[in-house]
Amino acid sequence: MKLFNSNIIDLLIRKGLPFVTYSLPGSKETILLVQKSPNLHKTEFDNIENIQGFVIAEFISAKTNIIEYINPDFIFTSEEDLNELNDFLVGLSDVNPPDEKLNESSFLSKVQYLNKTDYIIDKLNEEELDKIVISRVSPMELLPDFKIDKFIESTINKYPKAFVYLLNSGKTGIWAGATPEILFKKTNDYYETNAIAGTRLLSDYKKKKLWGEKEIEEQQLVSYYIEKLLSEIGIKDYKSTGPETITAGNLVHLKNSFKIKASAINNITGQLIKGLHPTPAVCGLPKARAYHMIENAEVHRRELYTGFLGPWNFKDSSQLFVNLRCAKFVNNMALFYVGGGLTAQSDAKAEWQETVNKTKTLLSVIEKL
């Protein structure tokens, strides 16, 4: 799939305007949204039904109750003429990119990660936690001829079943990702959310199509949480299917789907989305205790990683995706954000390898450019 002219992407970054280009799973269309003003708009979860745009929520939005969004002042598909946008951008002054300093102490070595993970696994039972998701940041220096538009174009072509995006704003910086996980999707007839957990290499799964006890337990914890949430907010009219094995790049996961009749929601969309975020698949259970432990244990800020994002209330689409398999681009570096779910049965070395495998979703694209 051909992306937009690279001059437009470079120009948008230079001008500092919030923009996103994305491709929905299974779509052959690439969308470009641009906001004319430099600052992201803000609202609270309960007001989400009243906004239209591209929603961006950080991991910490679970605490702040604030979500942000890009207002779609310009909307283009990859087949449309961009002269109007180009003329608008040429008239604007360039904006100096934010001077973001990298904190190298937030990049854990393998030994540091193993020590931290071993300690947390030992503490799981003591802390009365069923599961916790611990993440890390893996940095990579980019070659001088790296072109981010070519990278995102190749990512869209390689992962047609994923939600693939490139996002930039003065608040967030430049992010890109190819995530397999729907947080919340709505159509005229039903709403949908997914429980995705458990990770194995696709090559290993093909040899022996069996899941281990640890992965099955992870999946069940996430599914039970969603069922409990739906019950607590009074939603009974839904259908659950799965678990099924799904492929996401070089990995496979277990997935349950929950489809809820639209008539059963009745103006509690924001409440439901807030209850889902962050899912146990990216945080842990019990969620509040796991969230607090993540804040104390991780040496980096997650920022957009394990938050959610996606188009909302326009072009007949409202889909929010958990921000996984993603990277932030700072100066000449790509920072890959990856994590894994820990239970009392976890093995630290296996968890390290899982995070390595997850970096390959985007790393494999960069290496072939």
Q: Terminus-to-terminus CA distance in the chain, angstroms?
A: 15
Distance between CA 163 and CA 26 in Å, rounded? 9
pLDDT of residue 277: 97
- 243: preceding bond cis by omega (within 30 degrees): yes
pTM reported for the whole predicted model: 0.95
pLDDT of residue 104: 83
Predicted confidence (pLDDT) per residue in 222-240, tens digit? 999 999 999 999 998 899 9
Distance between CA 204 and CA 269 in Å, rounded? 39
Distance between CA 364 and CA 31 in Å, rounded? 24
Taking each helix axis from N to C end, the angle separating 83-90 and 6-15, rounded to the nearest 10 degrees, works out to 30
Query: Could you tell me the pLDDT band of residue 123, with boundaries at 50, 70 and 90?
Result: confident
- 286: preceding bond cis by omega (within 30 degrees): yes
pLDDT of residue 74: 95
Q: Is the pLDDT of residue 263 over 80?
A: yes
Tokens of 224: 């039970």
Query: Could you tell me the pLDDT band of residue 165, with boundaries at 50, 70 and 90?
Result: very high
| 166: Cα separation from own chain's centroid | 12
Distance between CA 202 and CA 196 in Å, rounded? 15
Pairing of strands 190-201, 251-261: antiparallel
Exposed e or buried b per residue across 165-202, where buried means at least 16 C-beta atoms within 10 angstroms of its C-beta: bbbbbeebbbbbbbbbbbbbbbeeebbbbbbbbbbbee
CATH class as words, domain 6-367: alpha beta
Tokens of 91: 């008239």
Taking each helix axis from N to C end, the angle separating 213-232 and 269-276, rounded to the nearest 10 degrees, works out to 150
Distance between CA 149 and CA 167 in Å, rounded? 11
Taking each helix axis from N to C end, the angle separating 148-158 and 6-15, rounded to the nearest 10 degrees, works out to 120
CB count, 10 Å around CB of 126?
Answer: 7
Q: Which residue has the tokens 């914890």?
A: 221
- 278: preceding bond cis by omega (within 30 degrees): yes
Closest CA to 56 of 72, 77, 78: 72
Rg for the chain, CA atoms, rounded:
20
Average pLDDT of the segment spanning 36-64: 97
Predicted confidence (pLDDT) per residue in 317-352, tens digit? 899 999 999 999 998 999 999 999 998 889 999 999
Q: Which residue has the tokens 């909302």?
A: 312
